[in-house]
Amino acid sequence: MFNAAHTHLLTVRDLLRFAVSRFNEAGLFFGHGNNSAWNEAAYLVLYGLNLPLDHLEPFLDARLMPDEIRQVLSLVEARVTTRKPAAYLTHEAWLGAYRFYVDERVIVPRSFIAELLPDALEPWIEYPELVHRALDLCTGSGCLAILLAEHYPDAEVDAVDLSTEALEVAAINVETYGLETRVQLLASDLFTAVEGQTYDLIVSNPPYVDAPSVASLPDEYLHEPELALGSGEDGLDATRAIIENASRFLSPHGILVVEIGHNRDALEPQYPTLAFTWLETSSGDGFVFLLTHDQLIEAGY
């Protein structure tokens, strides 16, 4: 089918239709930046043709050169046959206007925390200049650490991860954004390597998928590092360790922001004395919580 397509598809519109049909036929899963076969097809077609990712309409009826058609079809075929997330085929992922290099050493960036920086934290951080030191736990590709440095220009940022391979990818992104002097990458099991340090802001998008869900993940997720997905039977091992240790690493006015997926109902009963603030995201208010230093101390943590 892909071989025959080379001779029958002529325009961007043709390639889009073909890609959407193949993706639907293959039953692909979309959860790594694009949420439908159409969006994924549009992204891969525009990427493969070196066109702006936000300008599809002007090019729909443009006739293409044979080499251009082959380039796009190779991406479409790879997406279907390997079931790799598109980000691993193009080696890029986007959080808002920020582009990051990714490969299979890191999870594909898709954190709600990115959309919360910095405006949603203003009730707790009155001015960006008040953040002098920040910490990103489980940094992966380094995306949140870089966003911290971008949004809080006076902050020095520590970014830690248990995976040295992930830190190699993070180093690429830190260098791309010219932040080598402000973002320090550390191999660490959560807080281990930053003992004795304090921060005005700690963020984390830790692994949080529970064991039954890990066992039933679509094929696309199996290309991501297992270490970055699951965290114990209920998915909350890392989150508990963060909650129960964070106060020692927060300044007196510091705050902790953690993403936990769909685990709110499982987490809250485990900490009945904690006054969680659940931040509003594009998908609702059950995915990211905020705790202050004082709240953690008052609850005995």
Q: What are the structural domains, with CATH classification, of the chain?
A: 2-90 (1.10.8), 106-298 (3.40.50.150)
Question: 256 φ, ψ to 5°?
Answer: -115, 130
Q: Which residues of 271-284 are buried (b: 16+ CB within 10 A; e: fewer)?
A: beebeeeebebeee
Percent of the chain with pLDDT over 90: 86
- Report the pLDDT value the prediction gives residue 44, as an integer from 0 to 100: 97
- Tell me the pLDDT band of 230, cut-offs 50, 70 and 90: confident
Question: 284 φ, ψ to 5°?
Answer: 120, -170
- Contact indicator for 289, 277 with CB cutoff of 8 Å: yes
- Contact indicator for 122, 191 with CB cutoff of 8 Å: no
Task: Identify the CA nearest to 135 among candidates 81, 186, 73.
Answer: 186
List beta partners, residue 281.
284
Find the mean pLDDT for residues 55-67. 93
- Report the pLDDT value the prediction gives residue 182, as an integer from 0 to 100: 98
Residue 95: count of CB within 10 angstroms of its CB: 20
* Residue 118 predicted with pLDDT over 90: no
pLDDT tens-digit series, residues 29-47:
998 988 999 999 999 999 9
Q: Per the structure block, which two tokens stand in for 226?
A: 């297992």
- Tell me the pLDDT band of 214, cut-offs 50, 70 and 90: confident
- Tell me the pLDDT band of 210, cut-offs 50, 70 and 90: confident
- Report the pLDDT value the prediction gives residue 2, as an integer from 0 to 100: 61
List beta partners, residue 11.
63
Q: Per the structure block, which two tokens stand in for 203?
A: 């963020």
List beta partners, residue 184.
158
> What is residue 259's three-state secondary structure?
strand
* Residue 299 predicted with pLDDT over 90: yes
Find the mean pLDDT for residues 151-155. 96
* Residue 213 predicted with pLDDT over 80: yes
- Report the pLDDT value the prediction gives residue 6, as an integer from 0 to 100: 64
* pTM for the whole structure: 0.94
Of 284 and 134, the one with more pLDDT: 134
DSSP state of 284: B
DSSP state of 54: T
DSSP string, 194-234: GTT--EEEEEE----B-HHHHHT--GGGGGS-GGGTB-STT
* Residue 284 predicted with pLDDT over 90: no
Find the mean pLDDT for residues 176-182. 98
Find the mean pLDDT for residues 229-242. 93
- Report the pLDDT value the prediction gives residue 101, as an integer from 0 to 100: 98
Peptide bond into 118 cis (omega under 30): yes
Task: Identify the CA nearest to 145 among candidates 130, 131, 134.
Answer: 134
* Residue 4 predicted with pLDDT over 70: no
Question: 126 φ, ψ to 5°?
Answer: -65, -40
- Report the pLDDT value the prediction gives residue 154, as an integer from 0 to 100: 95
Position 199, amino acid: Y
CA distance to 45, 77, 141, 162, 227, per residue, from 230 (Å): 33, 29, 17, 14, 6
Task: Identify the CA nearest to 257 among candidates 276, 232, 244, 234.
Answer: 276
Residue found by looking up tokens 């992104």 in the block: 173
pLDDT tens-digit series, residues 76-94:
999 999 999 999 999 999 9
Report the C-alpha gap between 152 and 275 in whole angstroms: 26
* Residue 235 predicted with pLDDT over 70: yes
- Report the pLDDT value the prediction gives residue 7, as an integer from 0 to 100: 67
- Tell me the pLDDT band of 285, cut-offs 50, 70 and 90: confident
Position 171, amino acid: A
